[in-house]
Amino acid sequence: MTQMPPPLLAPPPEGFEGAVLAGKAKANLLGEKIFFSGCLAGAFIGYGAYLACTVGGNCPGLAETNPGLQKLIFGSFGLPFGLFMTVLSGTELFTGNAAIVTMAVFEGKADLQQLARSLLLSWLGNLVGAVGVARLAITAGTMPGGGATVTLAVAKTSLPFATVFVRGILCNWLVCMAVYIASMAKDTAGKAIAIWFPISAFVTLGLEHSVANMFIIPAGIFAGAKVSWAQFLLQNLLPVSLGNMFAGMFLVALPYCILFGRKK
């Protein structure tokens, strides 16, 4: 009798249990490991944003004649690659932890203090890694004049707080679903597909990801954009981070704990 090959994707209840265990493991990491791993994740996402700004962000003619296609190219080449490196290397990403560690809290496998520590230290590590790559990218001179980062830095810090907050919510809903579904995939190709579709969608739609912005806006500042560090922190990074965190906790972690969790 021919043996059936194992499924390439865990069934939803089993995938949920795996995500909860992953969240528990993340919650129990030493603080210095969360921070250092966060630095690596920030660097990887920074590389993804670097690629996006170099390819899709460097098509001015296409942006004028076919803006939809230019946005699709911008979304397709860059950030999916960055998250792919982050997820497969097991590093700590603030936006994904907002869902995965929160699931562990809702299921009684971690506590609020561990959640707060995970989010704070991964956020700080992501910031250090992404800004570091931004400095290196501008110094390397591969984006003359800062490329798309200058225009993007100005645009991203010129929006109302509420607008940026909601864009952060919509963005991380997709990002956390990418992380969650990728954790259920049992092979590399499955993880790549799970990551590519939601991540390319959020970038194409023009939504706001805090860690990607930790590269894009500092790179623009380093290249001479008329944006201050205070504007970066208060007018973009703060509302985006809050929106990202809200989405991970209440639009991904909570619904799936209600659907598949054991605790009421």
Phi, psi dihedral angles at 185 (to 5 degrees): -70, 140
User: What is the residue-averaged pLDDT of the chain?
Assistant: 93
Q: Is residue 188 included in any domain, yes or no?
A: yes
Query: What integer is the mean pLDDT of 42-60?
Result: 93
Confidence of residue 120 (pLDDT cuts 50, 70, 90): very high
Q: Report pLDDT for 115.
A: 98
Q: Is residue 104 included in any domain, yes or no?
A: yes
Number of domains in the chain: 1
Q: Is residue 105 included in any domain, yes or no?
A: yes
Length of the chain equals 264
Per residue in 88-109, pLDDT (tens digit) is: 999 999 999 999 999 999 999 9
Query: What integer is the mean pLDDT of 18-46?
Result: 97
CATH of the domain at 208: 1.20.1080.10
CA 186 – CA 188 distance, rounded (Å): 7
**Using an 8 Å Cβ cutoff, are 51 and 81 in contact?**
yes
- Domain residues for the domain of 177 are 12-260
Q: Is residue 6 included in any domain, yes or no?
A: no
Its pTM stands at 0.93
Q: Is residue 35 included in any domain, yes or no?
A: yes
Per residue in 53-73, pLDDT (tens digit) is: 999 888 888 878 898 999 998
Q: Is residue 2 included in any domain, yes or no?
A: no
Q: Is residue 3 included in any domain, yes or no?
A: no
pLDDT of residue 2 exceeding 60:
no
Q: Is residue 159 included in any domain, yes or no?
A: yes
Write the CB contacts of 44 (distance below 8 Å, at least 6 apart in sequence). Answer: 82, 83, 85, 86, 89, 91, 129
